[in-house]
Amino acid sequence: MKPSFFDLTYDDLKNLLIEKGFSPFGATQIFDWVYKKWVHQPEEWSNVSKAAKEFFKENYDFALLKVVWNGLSKDGTRKFLVKMNDGQTVESVAIAARDRLTLCVSSQVGCAVGCTFCHTATQGLKRHLKTSEVVLQYVTIQKWLMDEVSSDVKLTNIVYMGQGEPLHNFENMKKATLIFMSEKGLGLGQRRITLSTSGLVPAIEKLAEDFPPVNIALSLHSARNDVRTELMPINKVYDLERLFKAIKLIPLKAHRRITYEYLLIDGMNDSMDDVVALANLLNSKESKINLIPFNEFPGSKYKRPSEQKIMWFLDQMIKRGFTCTIRTTKGSDILAACGQLKSEFEKLNLWDNERPVVIPSIASSVLQNQAR
Ligand code: SF4
């Protein structure tokens, strides 16, 4: 099988051109065709030499992923199930909010971390995604939106919050990030990419030195070791003390903070003791807390707190000087919300015959398939 073109960073491409005796300047033109003009047939690259075009046509694969299913939520969130060459599938979710269209991408098929609130965890880890499979989630869905919705629709942000622990797949996610950020191609700025981690300490320690500078979100979910261990078994190995030692190594530029994701679960981590522990653990000037009321899924053992309890928790953190928000749940009716992703074909039966109701708002309308 030919290697995928989408595994190549801009520097890889330049080096490849040099190695094969072509001009390295061709890298700029080729990235421009592939990532800006969306032309993936080398024979159509009019300003590239004939020999280089033939080389890429013969030796590289430009195939996109296959969208095997997509579902539109009532709030305009659209979930995609995409299939890779070996038949494995992962989910990517396009979320429209305000002036952004964010793509939540997966980093692994399944996940090894085993958080007890997470639907993906029930799959276990099947494999890491290749660099190309991460990049192609973006490219495939961007093309799908242009073809099926409107040529003007543009994905503006990426979050690594889909299936998998991105830092467990460090090298491939690093390369994918370099490709997303390359000014010669997609040119996504560092503030438009957010990496979310469950707290893999050895990889966090390498972030500052060895990963492009992107926004960081940490899935905290409790400031008490016993509760966090129950929710996230990774805390047994890397407890809060080790985790925060590693987090201090991440350089925070002016006006930038780490976001702490806090899943609010009824009777688990929503008491006054939890408020106090959280306020003691975090520095209110350097932290932003994002409260995520738990999204129940079939078979989940946890419950969502009442709206009153959620507002109380928010109020307690704000009173203590924290920037604290509640993440609006997006796409929960199609199991696209945080912690609900799992690639399983049975879900197709659930949604295939349903025509989701569409809320006509400016934000959600960009995702609607106007062709249908
Ligand atoms: S929440 Fe994230 S890290 Fe935890 S099991 Fe699920 S996918 Fe893995």
Range scoring the smallest mean pLDDT among 77-91, 164-178, 245-259: 245-259
Distance 122 CA to ligand 1 centre (A): 10
Sequence ranges of the chain with CATH classification 3.20.20.70: 66-365
Show the DSSP H helices in the chain as ranges.
Answer: 10-19, 26-31, 50-59, 131-148, 170-181, 201-210, 225-231, 234-237, 240-247, 272-281, 307-319, 346-351, 362-365
Q: Which residue of 91, 113, 127 sits with most ligand 1 atoms within 8 Å of its CB, as the best mutation to test the pocket?
A: 113
Relative to the CA of 196, which ligand 1 atom is closest? 2
Q: Which of 91, 133, 165, 261 is catalytic?
A: 91
The DSSP code sequence of 266-325 is TTTS-SHHHHHHHHHHS-TTTEEEEEEE----TT----PPPHHHHHHHHHHHHHTT-EEE
The DSSP code sequence of 146-178 is HHHT-TT----EEEE-SSS-GGGGHHHHHHHHH
Contacts of 346 (CB under 8 A, 6+ apart): none
Task: Please say if the pLDDT value at position 172 is more than 70.
Answer: yes
Task: Please say if the pLDDT value at position 216 is more than 90.
Answer: yes
What is the residue with the minimal CA distance to atom 4 of ligand 1? 115
Q: What is the pLDDT of residue 285?
A: 87
Q: Which of 104, 111, 324, 338 is catalytic?
A: 338
- φ, ψ (nearest 5 deg) of residue 101: -130, 105
Place of tokens 């390359």: 182
Q: What is the pLDDT of residue 95?
A: 93
Task: Please say if the pLDDT value at position 359 is more than 50.
Answer: no
Q: What is the pLDDT of residue 330?
A: 62
CATH class of 5-59: mainly alpha
pTM: 0.89
b/e per residue 41-74 (b: at least 16 CB within 10 A): ebeebeebeeebbebbeeebebebbebebbbbbe
Q: Which residue of 118, 126, 263 sits with most ligand 1 atoms within 8 Å of its CB, as the best mutation to test the pocket?
A: 118
- CA gap 46, 203 in Å, rounded: 43
Q: Which residue of 120, 160, 229, 235 sits with most ligand 1 atoms within 8 Å of its CB, as the best mutation to test the pocket?
A: 120
Contacts of 150 (CB under 8 A, 6+ apart): 366, 370
Of residues 155, 198, 201, 193, the one with CA closest to residue 174: 193
Distance 328 CA to ligand 1 centre (A): 19
Angle between helix axes 201-210 and 240-247 (nearest 10 degrees) is 0
> Residue 296: which pLDDT band, with cuts at 50, 70 and 90?
confident
Task: Please say if the pLDDT value at position 345 is more than 90.
Answer: no
Lining ligand 1 with CB less than 6 A are 111, 113-115, 118, 120-121, 163-165, 198, 339
Sequence ranges of the chain with CATH classification 1.10.150.530: 5-59
Distance 339 CA to ligand 1 centre (A): 7
Range scoring the smallest mean pLDDT among 105-114, 141-150, 165-174, 246-255: 246-255
Q: What is the pLDDT of residue 83?
A: 97
> Residue 357: which pLDDT band, with cuts at 50, 70 and 90?
very low
Fold adopted by 66-365: TIM Barrel (3.20.20)
Which residues are bridge partners to 97 per DSSP?
100
Q: What is the pLDDT of residue 57?
A: 98
- CA gap 372, 369 in Å, rounded: 6
Go through the chain and tell me how many residues it has. 372
Establish whether 338 is a catalytic residue. Answer: yes
Q: What is the pLDDT of residue 257?
A: 78
Contacts of 165 (CB under 8 A, 6+ apart): 107, 108, 111, 112, 113, 197, 198, 200
Q: What is the pLDDT of residue 232?
A: 97
For the chain, helix, strand, coil in percent to 5 are 40, 20, 45
The per-residue pLDDT for range 136-169, each reduced to its tens digit, is 999 999 999 999 999 999 999 999 999 999 999 9
Question: pLDDT higher for 256 or 82?
Answer: 82
Q: What is the pLDDT of residue 59?
A: 98
Q: What is the pLDDT of residue 337?
A: 52
Relative to the CA of 119, which ligand 1 atom is closest? 6
Relative to the CA of 163, which ligand 1 atom is closest? 7
Q: What is the pLDDT of residue 346?
A: 30
Task: Please say if the pLDDT value at position 366 is more than 80.
Answer: no
- Kindly report the average pLDDT of the chain as a whole number: 88
The token duo for 105 is 């991408």
Q: What is the pLDDT of residue 355?
A: 27
Work out the average pLDDT over 90-116.
94
Distance 121 CA to ligand 1 centre (A): 6
Q: Quick check: 329 and 290 in contact, CB under 8 A? A: no
The per-residue pLDDT for range 305-325, each reduced to its tens digit, is 999 999 999 999 999 999 999
Of residues 75, 168, 170, the one with CA closest to residue 131: 170
Relative to the CA of 121, which ligand 1 atom is closest? 5
Distance 78 CA to ligand 1 centre (A): 20
- CA gap 334, 340 in Å, rounded: 9
3-state secondary structure of 138: helix
Angle between helix axes 170-181 and 201-210 (nearest 10 degrees) is 30
- CA gap 310, 265 in Å, rounded: 9
Distance 336 CA to ligand 1 centre (A): 14
Q: What is the pLDDT of residue 306?
A: 96
